[in-house]
Amino acid sequence: DGGITQSPKYLFRKEGQNVTLSCEQNLNHDAMYWYRQDPGQGLRLIYYSQIVNDFQKGDIAEGYSVSREKKESFPLTVTSAQKNPTAFYLCASRNTQGSYSNQPQHFGDGTRLSIL
Amino acid sequence: SQQGEEDPQALSIQEGENATMNCSYKTSINNLQWYRQNSGRGLVHLILIRSNEREKHSGRLRVTLDTSKKSSSLLITASRAADTASYFCALNGLNRDDKIIFGKGTRLHILP
């Protein structure tokens, strides 16, 4: 079945450490997104990519970095510059063919990041 | 704010009753989407309603959109325990920056 796979499900970060969250999709979607969700809150956009080798900052990009070397993969690195990284991170993808905006986003099951 | 605002923030109803959640917004939109999130899981898309549509149905779900009032509602009829989740409205604006803005959600709890 097609879908989005995020790994790991749980991740712990030590002070001063960078960690990378994986997101892989086999839906053949061009667009991919990273969101951060804090308890009881909505989703805030970190980075998004509409095509391979291109990505844009979202609303809260500071302390994060991404790459988009392959269509299927959009890894997120949480750097040591992100001082409050504890959150639930969600990756999504979307088909941007045809009617540009009238396509829903498909989500992975998230990675929960905590600080040791 | 471009964010949709759901109302109420939390809702508890008896199984079998109908649940209504509302979303208000301030900007012009291309479409509005509703998503469900079970605890500790990703979001699942429920319904997309375009700005030129007024009502859509999908199974036990009914979504309305009033662009003059900049509001939408999600009705779940004959609720079930499995409907317990958070429900988010998401706005797709008129520009082509490919962003979807999510609200903070309504937490729905179905009581047995």
- Nearest by CB to residue A90, choosing from B33, B42, B97, is B42
Q: Encode pLDDT of A65-97 as tens digits.
A: 999 999 999 999 999 988 899 999 999 999 887
| Mean pLDDT value across chain B | 93
- Give the number of C-alpha atoms closer than 13 A to the C-alpha of residue B108, restricted to the C-beta side: 30
Is the CB of residue A12 less than 8 Å from the CB of residue A115?
yes
- pLDDT at position A36 over 90: yes
| Whether B105 and A110 lie within 8 Å, measured CB to CB | no
Calpha distance B66→A14 (Å, rounded): 48
- pLDDT at position B91 over 60: yes
- pLDDT at position B96 over 90: no
Joined together, the tokens standing for residue A25 give 């999709």
Q: Encode pLDDT of B10-59 as tens digits.
A: 999 999 999 999 999 998 998 999 999 999 999 999 999 999 999 999 99
Q: Searching chain A, which residue's CA lies closest to the CA of residue B46?
A: A104
